[in-house]
């Protein structure tokens, strides 16, 4: 008997493939959540880094951005005073192979202006409020899991 950990089954009853799939699902779920966190913080570089080198982002208006450089440039143009909060739910991730996964999620987007003075309940929400969806394809890269393709679309709108 050896004491080498490589020779020991440290997780009896756990299928390594199942564990890999769970880790992949968690990594992809983190990408979904980090995307909106970076977006709400005006972190265009951080948001773009979530995409694969040939990653594609199709925006709700149909604009298609290809690659992290184009994605970062587009998000860097966002007005500095625009405040957003994306609430994401119903995140479903399916691992389709050791290097690919697909996912969908629902997003509720509220926005406001940094120029508005916050009151006891925060700043007033502005303009239209929308509910939408993200349809994602994820790829395992040398840097870890990344978004290979994201299609964003709106499903409902409430005008101000």
Residue 28 confidence (pLDDT): 99
Find where tokens 């926005």 sit: 111
Residue 1 confidence (pLDDT): 44
Residue 160 confidence (pLDDT): 73
Q: Find out whether 78 and 42 touch, Cβ atoms under 8 Å.
A: yes
Q: What average pLDDT values come out for the chain (160 residues) when binned by 10 residues?
A: 50 76 98 99 99 98 98 97 98 97 98 95 92 99 98 94
Domain ranges of the chain: 16-158
CB pairs under 8 A, 24+ apart, for 68-75?
A: 71/44, 71/47, 72/44, 72/45, 72/47, 72/48, 73/44, 74/44, 75/39, 75/44, 75/47, 75/48
Residue 11 confidence (pLDDT): 58
State the CATH architecture for 16-158: Roll (3.10)
Q: Which residues pair with 139 in a beta bridge?
A: 100, 146
Residue 16 confidence (pLDDT): 72
């Amino acid at each position: 008997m050896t004491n080498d950990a490589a020779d020991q089954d440290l997780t009896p009853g756990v299928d390594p493939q199942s564990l890999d799939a769970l880790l992949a699902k968690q990594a992809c779920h983190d990408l979904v959540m980090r995307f909106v966190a970076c977006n709400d913080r005006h972190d265009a570089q951080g948001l773009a880094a979530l995409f694969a080198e040939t990653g594609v982002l199709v925006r709700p208006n149909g604009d298609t951005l290809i690659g992290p450089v184009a994605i970062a440039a587009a998000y860097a143009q966002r007005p500095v005073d625009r405040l957003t909060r994306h609430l994401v739910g119903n995140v479903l991730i399916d691992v389709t192979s050791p290097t690919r996964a697909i996912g969908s999620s629902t997003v509720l987007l509220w926005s406001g202006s940094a120029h508005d003075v916050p009151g006891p309940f925060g700043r007033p929400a502005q303009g239209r409020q929308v509910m939408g969806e993200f349809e994602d394809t994820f790829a395992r890269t040398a840097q870890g899991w990344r978004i290979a393709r994201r299609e964003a679309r709106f499903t409902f709108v409430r005008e101000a």
